[in-house]
Amino acid sequence: MDRLDNTVRPYAWGSTTALPALLGTEPSGEPQAEMWMGAHPGAPSRTGRGTLVEVIDADPERELGPAAAKFGPRLPFLLKLLAAGAPLSLQVHPDLEQARAGYADEERRGIPADAPHRNYKDANHKPELICALTEFDGLCGFRDPAATADLLAGLGVDSLKPYVDLLRAHPEDAALREVLTAVLTADPDEMRRTVTETAAACARLGGDYAPYADIAHHYPGDPGVIAALLLNHVRLQPGEALFLSAGIPHAYLNGLGVEIMANSDNVLRCGLTPKHVDVPELLRVVRFEAGDAGVLRPEATPDGEEVYATPIDEFRLSRFVLPEGAAAHDLTLGTPQILLCTSGTVRAGEHELTPGQSVFVPARERAEVSGAGTVFRATVVV
């Protein structure tokens, strides 16, 4: 079992206070957006045996067990603490088939891996799950088109009326596709005026419009503001989660959470960003299906584990809430694990963990936790 020393990423949208408050450190005044735990080559966790990439490369079978045969000689997930102080970009992720085809195509065309217009950094999909540690606001999936038409009409903005008509006049999938296409391909000057008028109306009306006014404050003139109005706004309570499968448009707005994802960098952006938006490829990947956001709540097992059930194998996230005086839990598995403390003080093997601290447990190595607090467990399904 290895204690992990993890990198904090200072993205501009990060909160200046949420991670320091969890970690019990003084804020630096700079944004602290994500703490990465895993073997992503961009910022691998460090151990007493080297980086986690080096540890796994040295003996994949020992460290990963049967996961090495199923997923290859790499840790297939990345675990994060995510602290949003401002909205992240509006985005979707490809499915596995799309990722493989897109990566092969861009490789064949010789697009440099670091090119700003490159969509596919690897050949993997990127399902992800976010579990709230505080109240957590996000956008997830398309709202019912009729309800969105009513929401837009209520703003009283003349330039939104064509979108209202489209949403009311077409079948669901066609309506959503046509509106998103129109928004992302509109004349930039006209769209800036529409966003400005829409932002002012959202700020004036408040209520259900308030989250979109805040988005517009951070991204003035961005067409993603209008695209965001097509999506469900959801406010997670601590312990609740969202699962983002392929093709689901989403954005995180504010709050602190535990995030886990397949180990991939494939992102197609819809707006709320200065980065490249590839509209044709985006429209190929987006799933134009309406529904609610699908809030997940953990399912308790007899041994005290609370599991966030998802339909993929690259990761499995669960938590243990350990009351004062409880007996030690045996968490030994045949698969690799990362254990993360988010409250209280717990002991994992020989390591005492306080909030924000974590350990890597190789496959089949004994893992016992005790103390009083909350421990998240990230592993895989084989």
What's the DSSP call for residue 117? T
Phi, psi of 241 (to 5 degrees): -145, 165
CB 335 within 8 A of CB 65: yes
CB distance 263 to 39 below 8 Å: yes
d(CA 257, CA 43): 19
Place of tokens 């093997």: 349
Identified catalytic residue from 74, 143, 269, 316: 269
Gap between the terminal Cα atoms of the chain: 21
- Taking each helix axis from N to C end, the angle separating 161-169 and 145-153, rounded to the nearest 10 degrees, works out to 160
User: Parallel, antiparallel, or unpaired for β 77-84 and 34-38?
Assistant: antiparallel
C-beta of residue 245 within 8 angstroms of C-beta of residue 70: no
Looking at residue 296, what DSSP letter applies?
B
Tally of CB atoms within 10 A around 343: 16
Beta-carbon contacts of 189 under 8 Å, excluding residues fewer than 6 positions away, are none
At 60, give phi and psi (nearest 5°). -60, -40
Tell me whether residue 49 is one of the annotated catalytic residues.
Answer: no
Q: What share of the chain is helix, strand, coil (3-state, %, to 5)?
A: 30, 30, 40
Of the candidates 249, 239, 248, the one whose C-alpha atom is nearest the C-alpha of residue 342 is 239
Answer yes or no: are the C-beta atoms of 45 and 51 closer than 8 Å: yes
Task: Decide: 273 and 228 in contact? Cβ < 8 Å.
Answer: no
- For the annotated catalytic residues, the residue numbers are 269
